[in-house]
Structure 1
Amino acid sequence: MSIQTIDGKALKQMILHAAARLEAQKDAVNALNVFPVPDGDTGTNMSMTLSSATREVERAGDRTVGEVAAALAQGSLMGARGNSGVILSQLFRGFAKYLDGKTTVDGRELARALQEGVDTAYKAVMKPVEGTILTVAREAAAAAQQAGRKSPDATSVMRAAVEAAEEALAKTPELLPVLKKAGVVDSGGKGLTVIYHGYYEVLSGKASDVATTAVKVEPAAEAPAPGRHDTSPASRVDFAVDEEISDIRFPYDCEFFIRRYRDGGPIPMDNLARELEQWGDSVYVVGSEDLAKVHVHASNPGPVLSLAIQYGDLIDIVIHNMREQHADLLRNAQPAPAGAHGGAAANPSGNPGANSGANPGASAGVNPTGATSAPADSPAEEERPTAVVAVAAGEGMAEIFRSLGVSAVIQGGQTMNPSTQDLLDAIERCPSRQVFVLPNNKNIILAAEQAATLTQKKVYVVPTRSVPQGISAMVAWMPDEEDGERLFSSMKQVIEGVHTGEITYAVRDTTYGDLQIKEGDILGLWNGKIHLTGKEPEGVLVDLLSAMVEEAGGEVITVYYGEGVAADRAEAVGEELRRRFPDHEVEIQFGGQPLYYYVFSLE
């Protein structure tokens, strides 16, 4: 039995089933990554984005499609991870915009909602590329509208959208040569077709009861024990421990959602934010007039909650006493043992993530309660002219950024793209009204830019595509400079002169350009593109650097060795590079990054 008209309950079922379907197929979507590197995470990012949305959808009422769609848009906005997740959130945003205020929709209105999503997503992407998720979404929406002109039946319209999505997906290799050479279709487009299939299965009555169970987003796990590689996509924000916090003015960290009263007026987000400033600092109110997220540091949570409850139901209330959190941090923080960076044994498997001896341990800034962030010290800091948030994978990388003055380090990168919410939380906790964000990965830039639109602070997203670029940007950052625009220009300019090299391994057979790649081959990437292959990481490192030096010259070579590389092995590489390149300064540092044996810069 098919559904001709969609009500709130049906739309909720469609979303939950699609999320379950995508979760089940995320590995297959990941496998479509053009690069055969071990960090293809499009499926994971899209699944986590949609899973975040299901939490809001489950909490929302299902009286109307407008209510459910608004929850879908809000949850995906805050939970968006990676470029694919951000684009997906924009598709949902436009979808919800069209459905706003509607109780039910027929097929024609469903088609128009899909088209509004496409229009919104194209506007959000500065340089839309055809042969991607955008193409698949556009073709599906066009087919849905054509079907809607023939019949208002919602199931028929969604079937047309699914068929067109599959056809468009199959053609993506013809639009993007890099897909054709790799022998794959676009991974983001594939993820979207999985979602649309989920919608159709509910409308057509083909969805199983098990599949319509909501996908849950698990809370961030505690920091991994020393020697264990944590590959979960959950992000963690690390802050250095400050022992002087007893004089903090606003010790209560309050976070909650306001859900608009059914018979009440819209949530006045701007006015609410201004009113909250009388009770504390670090205030932000984001979301929509129907569901808003509130964050504030207060001296007394009572007046904050009393004010907020005037506008709607309060849900997911979390209040931390930051003085107590900080006391726990000081009691539990353990310094890393001497020589921890160099204790790893050589990895005989060839997989840099398989060695268990190179992780120096959890950061002292990890909240022992298991919370995803440890903000205790940040509010106590004196406000600065500017502050910096950086994304980095590996404890060594994080420590380097902290030593350069970064206020908040989000543990993430390849396979661990932080969400919009993770980035926003870090921005809000920085002790400045001007914040620079270093994504250090091309797949995090869009989420950072989205987070920048959700805060009242002035945020500059420096388009760093690698950790070496981020480190160079920090060298150009001047903590006492008050002119954010001038700093932004300087930081962007300096990263242009950084060449990044990465040494990892292939996870499958493929063809990339003129290279025939076999599973297990060692890959040498130059500025994100596979340049050569080999059988041994150090040999590929030397060969890649030789090619880079010959073409780009440079003066300084800095090599960061990963969690699966022993210190003596890395130092031996350093000696070889000094012998090969006597005119260059060569530095070897512990990075602790997963999946990549070596990451290096040539400047």
Structure 2
Amino acid sequence: MLRTLNAATARRWADLVLSALTAERDAIDRINVYPVADGDTGTNLLQTVRAAVRTLDEAAPDTLGGVLGALSKGALGGACGNSGMLLSQAIRGIAEQLRDAETADGAAWREALRRADELARQAVAEPQEGTLLSVLRAAVRGAEGSGELGEVVRTSTRAAIDALAATPAQLPVLSEAGVVDAGGRGLVILLDALHAVVREGEWLAPNSPVPGEADHLEHESSFSYEVMYLLADTDAGRAEALRGRLAELGDCVSVVGDGLDSWAVHVHCDDIGGAIETGIESGRVHRIKVTRFADQQAAYAREVAVLACVPGEVLGEIFAAEGADVLVTDALPVPAELREAFAGTGAGHVVVLPNDLDTALVVERAVTDMSEGPEVVVVPTASSVQGLAALAVHDPHRRRASDQVAMAEAAAATRRGELYVADVEALTWVGRCRPGDILGLIDGEVVLIGEDLTTTAQELLTRMLTTGGELFTALIGDNTPPDLLGELSAHLRRVHPEVEMASYPAGALDSLLLVGIE
């Protein structure tokens, strides 16, 4: 158990929050009934944290205060929705309290939570109980009287979990829908992630993200639009006055600052022009975003999908039989094609198996360029055998962050082997090859040069099994000699009878044979 927080542990906390919100975004979206049933609280929280982590990556600070300051700056600049605004202020409060700190013990973290609570409540014109604010206040009270960091984090997180469970009793709309507050659930994830960091992987909240799910999201705002913008060239006095004027135009008003010279503004209203003009009177308005609530609806037919990129219809049928959606990539795909495939799954959360190193780069670029659509996570698979290994351990009912880790670990634990016929003379790691030679590759590197296909294949298999293995998977291409698989099977029974073997037809392959050991 950690006794203090430092830059490295704070960074780990931020990464874990991002991972957990990525995994539970859809579940939080589905219980979003207050202040408007627009199904986007999980998305807004995720986008806010993603912006915070992106700023942290760019700044790369090496002190605790620097890490928290970067997170605060990014969260404010990328805050989305009312929940994102409040979360950005909670992060700002923590950052302000620990601005000059190299480390933070239990007492320091207790004060940081208190400052987070103060700023979050100051951000809104009319604080409402039964929301993220109630959960944060409970965390502050839960931390009182605790000593060491581990105890402070445990008692505050436990108090937040209990407060989240009580939110339906504080807001009738939550009780009617049978759910807890969505923003409060997001805050519990943030606090519980810190608990997991401080107490070495122990989570307090249950795996199930919420005790209930809204069957009928009927709570609607009395206003038609959500208006958000950033405000510069102003001060605290004018920002406070703006908060009051916006409260006359609508509700869910928040005007939050970074403690320096930037403010983020949020309001639900009917008079879009009035909300923006009021901001212009207070400073310089930029990055305006207007959303009509009537346009927002449940966008996804299912929660999660696994999308496998495969080189051919035959291999695609294998992945489809294992439950994956398939994108056949006879040539290297382009980002637009990938984004269309992400959306085509109909899922709010898409796990991509690129199954090729070059394809993986294009997938990463496609994800980076996305401004809307489903949440996409890439599991690094360099070949189809690694993709099959990852798919075999996929469990849609598991906590998503844990499922993605399990899939990535399964892929990484699968060594891939390939057999090619050299078509030109070349210098390799193990010597010079000539046209017609048989090349044996392990994890992309040439390790064998032979003249006989069967002998080289057997030696490749033997080398791959020197580090152990329980399952040998072979993908048989159209140009694989028909008797090769039988000879390899007999060889495996002689030298490694304990290893199981599975084989699949793979259609057109670049190699003579593609194998995996896991």
TM-score over 0.5 for the pair: no
- Over alpha carbons, which structure has the higher Rg? 2
Q: TM-score range by the shorter chain?
A: 0.3 to 0.5
Higher helix content, 1 or 2:
2
